[in-house]
């Protein structure tokens, strides 16, 4: 009976994102809010409603681990490091400065907030990952550092609020304000580039896309198995971290293979897997703990975004980065590639879309390394 309940629960969570996406296509009100948020909210509602028996917890934990692992290669198969040249020197330097800014600010935040925010090394790792890559990095680092699900959900909720305010600022006041400090943009031949997965999550399950989706899933599962197998050779305390870092490395390497990059639905499938993860983790979170922890963590997240943006601006001026390139690479780091096109249009410069998107995709690749490294180093400090 327990196995049946666990199986039904797992299937339910795997189908839940499809119902959200289906409803969003038919109801404008639902479509205005990210499916990530809906999946979290529905997961929290289900998990705190008393509908799920305690016996399904093993299924929830296993599904959360599997979805995190699968999402990494699926979303990185398109990260061909040879495309770094597409960004151009300015965008490449600006993206490095964005990553450096958030790392420095978060490390300082560990010292400033350690008395009021729980487990600041873990939070630091999460924030470095999400503000160099995106939600997939946040989920992967949460697994690698074994962060409590309630804290993870609170961090993500705070990120949604603060990132929303950041986007509003970027598309309205950022360019006029930053233009006082940075050089104007000079065209260097960069051309617009399509956002990976912009065809929509549903494209992965269409009749034309399904064969490619199955191949992408099989390859991702193979890389997960290889990473787990190799990680088992290490001491137990390093196994989880090693799985995430090995998997990231294998996925980046696979991106050099043309036939892997041709798996055009892999990114969309990865997005869907992330939605499943969001619903599962939401169901494992205690709503009371989320509400209690929220103010302090919201303060930490707000501090991180505001100060890292300020430091990025100062470094961009020092390294003579133009205003448009700085804005789109900051957007790619803080909000992820799908936001780049909207911001580029809002600042009146479509030519920087390719640079911003490529920077963001590579941010996905380095986010896991940087976030895990930050968390592990800060944990080892005596203060």
Domain assignment of residue 301, given as a range: 2-380
189 pLDDT band (50/70/90 cuts)?
very low
- The per-residue pLDDT for 323 is 93
Mean pLDDT, rounded, of the chain: 83
Q: In this predicted structure, what is the pLDDT of residue 80?
A: 59
pLDDT of residue 197 exceeding 60, the answer is no
- pLDDT surpasses 80 at 193: no
Helix extents (H) in the chain: 2-26, 28-31, 35-47, 57-76, 84-113, 120-130, 135-145, 149-169, 175-178, 210-231, 239-254, 258-261, 266-283, 287-318, 323-335, 340-346, 353-380
d(CA 48, CA 285): 8
pLDDT above 60 (res 108): yes
282 pLDDT more than 50: yes
What pLDDT score does 15 carry? Answer: 92
pTM, full prediction: 0.73
When comparing pLDDT for 293 and 149, which is higher? 149
Matching residue, tokens 């198969």: 77
For range 234-238, the mean pLDDT? 77
Average pLDDT on 37-56 reads: 85
Number of domains in the chain: 1
Q: Is the pLDDT of residue 312 over 60?
A: yes
pLDDT given for residue 324 in this prediction:
92
Beta carbons within 8 Å of 26's beta carbon, 6+ residues apart: none
Whether residue 58 has pLDDT greater than 50: yes
The pLDDT of 108-118, averaged and rounded, is: 87
190 confidence band (pLDDT: 50, 70, 90): very low
Q: How far apart are CA 118 and CA 310, in angstroms?
A: 25
CA distance 40 to 253: 32
> Which pLDDT score, from 0 to 100, does residue 84 have?
54
- Strand partners for 183: 322
pLDDT of 182 > 70? The answer is yes
pLDDT recorded at residue 40: 83
The reported pLDDT for the residue numbered 216 is 93
**Per-residue confidence at 16, pLDDT binned at 50, 70, 90?**
very high
Looking at residues 138-162, what average pLDDT do you find? 83
Q: Which residues contact 286 (CB under 8 A, 6 or more apart)?
A: 48, 150
Cβ contacts of 281 within 8 Å, gap of 6 or more: 40, 43, 64, 139, 149, 152, 153
Q: What is the pLDDT of residue 14?
A: 93
Classified as helix, coil or strand, 191 is: coil
Residue 304 has pLDDT above 80, yes or no: yes
At 181 the three-state DSSP class reads coil
Residue 322: strand pairing partners: 183
* CA 124 distance to own-chain centroid: 15
């Amino acid at each position: 009976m327990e196995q049946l309940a666990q199986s039904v629960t797992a299937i339910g969570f795997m189908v839940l994102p499809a119902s959200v996406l289906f409803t969003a296509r038919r109801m404008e009100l639902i479509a205005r809010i990210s499916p990530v948020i809906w999946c979290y909210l529905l997961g929290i509602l289900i998990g705190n409603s008393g509908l799920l028996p305690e016996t399904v917890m093993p299924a929830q934990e296993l599904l959360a681990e599997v979805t995190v692992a699968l999402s990494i290669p699926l979303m990185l198969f398109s990260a061909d490091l040879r495309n770094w040249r597409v960004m151009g020197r300015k965008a490449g330097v600006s993206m490095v400065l964005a990553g450096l800014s958030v790392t420095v600010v978060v490390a300082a935040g560990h010292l400033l907030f350690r008395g009021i925010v729980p487990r600041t090394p873990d939070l630091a790792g999460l924030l470095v990952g999400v503000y160099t890559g995106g939600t997939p990095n946040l989920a992967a680092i949460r697994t690698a550092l074994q962060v409590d699900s309630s804290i993870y959900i609170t961090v993500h909720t705070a990120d949604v609020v603060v990132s929303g305010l950041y986007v509003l600022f970027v598309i309205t006041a950022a360019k006029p304000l930053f233009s006082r400090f940075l050089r104007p943009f000079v065209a260097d031949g960069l051309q617009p580039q399509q956002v990976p997965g912009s065809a929509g999550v549903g494209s992965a399950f269409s009749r034309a896309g399904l064969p490619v989706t199955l191949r992408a899933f099989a390859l991702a599962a193979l890389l997960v198995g290889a990473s787990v197998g190799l990680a088992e050779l290490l001491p137990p305390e390093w196994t989880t971290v090693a799985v995430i870092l090995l998997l990231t490395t294998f996925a980046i390497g696979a991106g050099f293979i043309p036939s892997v990059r041709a798996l055009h639905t892999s990114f969309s499938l990865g997005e869907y897997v992330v939605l499943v993860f969001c619903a599962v983790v939401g169901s494992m979170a205690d709503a009371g703990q989320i509400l209690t922890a929220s103010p302090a963590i919201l303060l930490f997240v707000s501090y991180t975004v505001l100060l890292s943006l300020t430091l990025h601006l100062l470094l961009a001026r020092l390294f003579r980065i133009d205003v448009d390139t700085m804005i789109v690479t900051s957007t790619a780091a803080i909000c992820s590639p799908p936001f780049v096109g909207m911001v580029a249009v809002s600042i009146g410069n479509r030519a920087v879309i390719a640079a911003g998107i490529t920077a963001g995709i590579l941010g996905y690749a380095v986010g896991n390394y940087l976030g895990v490294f930050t968390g592990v180093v800060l944990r080892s400090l005596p203060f």
